Amino acid sequence: MSVPQYFAEIDTNNIVIAVHVVTRQFLDENPDRYLGIYVETFVDVEGKTYAGVGYTYDAKTKNFVPPVYIVQPPIEA
């Protein structure tokens, strides 16, 4: 049995839209099933960030950047 691999599916803006557990070989052998752009992401690898939906892929560092959420105080009525 092979070690699981994780691939982030990214859109044209490098935003992660899904993460799949699949081997590179299976991805390559099934292009009609896996349309789009896939980048490998790693679990428990020092210096690497595991991708999640909404993360951005940075091609220069070959790593994923989490989204930044700004919490706004509630509007008083």
What is the DSSP secondary-structure string of 4-36? P-EEEEE-TTSBEEEEEE--HHHHHH-TTTS-S
What is the tally of helices (H) and strands (E) in the chain? Answer: 1, 5
List the chain domain ranges.
6-65
Q: For each of the chain's 77 residues, which pLDDT tens digit applies?
A: 567 899 999 999 999 999 999 999 999 999 999 999 999 999 989 999 999 999 999 999 999 999 998 888 888 87
Give the pLDDT of residue 4.
Answer: 82
| 57-68 per-position pLDDT tens digit | 999 999 999 999
